[in-house]
Amino acid sequence: VQQLLSSLAEIVGEKNVLSGDAVTGRNPGWCRTSLDAGLMVRPASTSEVSRVAAVAHANDLVVVPHGGMTGLVQGTSSQANNLIVSFERMNQVTRVDPAQGVLIAQAGVRLQDAHDAAAEHGLTLGVDIPSRGSCTIGGIISTNAGGVRVIRYGMTRENVLGLDVVLADGTVLEASNTLMKNNAGFDLKQLFIGSEGTLGLVTQAVFKLFPKPVDESTALVAASSVSDLVKLLTRVRREMGSKLLSFEGMWHDYYWGVTEHATTGNRPIAEEYPIYAIIEAGEWTDSRETQLEQVLSAALEDGLILDAVLASSLAERRAIWLIREDTDPVSQLTDRMLSFDVGFELRDIEPFVEGLSRAMSQRWPDKPLYVFGHMGDGNLHIILGLSNEEYANQKPFTDVIYGEVGRYANSTISAEHGIGLEKRAYLHYSRSEEQRLLMQRLMLALDPTSMLNPGKIV
């Protein structure tokens, strides 16, 4: 062990090899077993990551990559005798190039810092998620994160031009491609995006940049049904095209539950309705009346929506978004929260939520079910509040929820959070045996001795 520690210290410096309380005393983030390894290195460059991986490989040491620890599927879980590689020192934005439209950043850069660096040039990244203050570039790439702007810019996968990656044995794949077009053989970066640290360690990434809107309008609307909101979405898309940035849904119990809490303040819409949505649109030129206002006025006149509030200041915009992004008021009502991240075609959302509510209330009549999420992308988040005892025996709840998801041919048990450890037993709902076997073959091809984040996904 001493030999191993000094080899690691030689690469990253003694103070960047942490063990014992210096590791277990840290914040484990959203996964309670993140720090169980009790051993962590904090490299500062791709070359240091490569040398660390080579040492781990030579010593048969399992490597668990850690970014901002906001992942929601136990992907950062580690065990005794594993080595955690933390990217926290790799926090440099290395290039922002407005002409080429790219931002290059090390893996440990927080998403918010990347946005701030782009904003200095009047530009923005396409990926934005509520955990932006903590999650990292490496983490969002490894989980192929979605978020609140997917409807406009796509998932992380559509936003990355190039990656530098270190393989399990320390091999460096330097591919910080900045070209819009590069069809020279396989697009290898796509293998690593969404692979949750099982195929390689992402050390640097090239993101596309887009012109930042000069203004953004945010509205909260209420409707009597999901199908009316889907009609509204179709209309907004037709009339506003690429100006539409976000379309997020919140079912009655979620909206009402969250807005009861002091941190989320007053209810911008004080009446009770079956469903609410946040709609955000960008403006790239100064205009007095926003197009969103016009579209929503017409929708109100037609009865497609029943109520609407358009934010008139940044504070009001933030207050509206807080309702959607701060789930604490409902998730802290019980001992433990079980969360789901499911996806459907838009036409299946309404029957799914109705069927799920029926199935849940038949078995657990008093159990609140909070439904919200990236509705425009067909992606729903579901929060189920459980007691510690129920959480320890969660299978009956999960079976009911995934059973309902499985009724729809085009559905997924993980629209954006990934699989990690938490959803592994349920992967068969969304991927065939052939697909799961191919995933395993790819893992073995890149990492024959299963040293990189083993046990995650499959």
- What are the beta bridge partners of residue 40? 18, 84
Alpha-carbon distance of 86 to 107, in angstroms, equals: 10
The number of beta carbons lying within 10 Å of the beta carbon of residue 404 is 21
Query: Could you tell me which stretch among 137-145, 240-248, 268-276, 388-396 binds ligand FAD (CB under 6 A)?
Result: 137-145
Could you tell me the smallest distance in angstroms from the CB atom of residue 306 to ligand FAD?
27
Q: Among residues 54, 30, 25, which one has the least CA distance to residue 139?
A: 30
Tokens read off for 159: 């936003």
Site for ligand FAD in 409-448 (CB under 6 A): 416-417, 420
Of positions 145, 233, 245, 401, contacts ligand FAD by CB under 6 A: 145
Could you tell me the smallest distance in angstroms from the CB atom of residue 380 to ligand FAD?
12
Alpha-carbon distance of 52 to 58, in angstroms, equals: 10
- Would you count residue 164 as binding ligand FAD (CB under 6 A)? no
Residue with Cβ nearer ligand FAD (38 or 68): 68
Could you tell me the smallest distance in angstroms from the CB atom of residue 374 to ligand FAD?
7
Backbone phi, psi, residue 176, to 5° = -75, 60
Alpha-carbon distance of 421 to 401, in angstroms, equals: 18
Query: Could you tell me which stretch among 1-9, 18-26, 66-74, 117-125 binds ligand FAD (CB under 6 A)?
Result: 66-74
Q: Among residues 281, 296, 276, 290, which one has the least CA distance to residue 221?
A: 276
Of positions 61, 202, 222, 311, contacts ligand FAD by CB under 6 A: 202
Could you tell me the smallest distance in angstroms from the CB atom of residue 23 to ligand FAD?
15
Could you tell me the smallest distance in angstroms from the CB atom of residue 69 to ligand FAD?
5
Residue with Cβ nearer ligand FAD (54 or 201): 201
DSSP, collapsed to helix, strand or coil, labels residue 222 as: strand
Counting every residue written for the chain, the total comes to 458
Backbone phi, psi, residue 412, to 5° = -145, 145
- Would you count residue 130 as binding ligand FAD (CB under 6 A)? yes
Alpha-carbon distance of 451 to 458, in angstroms, equals: 14
Q: Are strands 82-86 and 39-41 parallel, antiparallel or unpaired?
A: parallel
- Would you count residue 46 as binding ligand FAD (CB under 6 A)? no
Site for ligand FAD in 68-127 (CB under 6 A): 68-72, 75-76, 87, 107
Query: Interface with ligand FAD by CB under 6 A: which residues?
Result: 30, 64-72, 75-76, 87, 107, 129-131, 135-136, 138-140, 142-143, 145-147, 196-197, 201-202, 416-417, 420, 453, 456
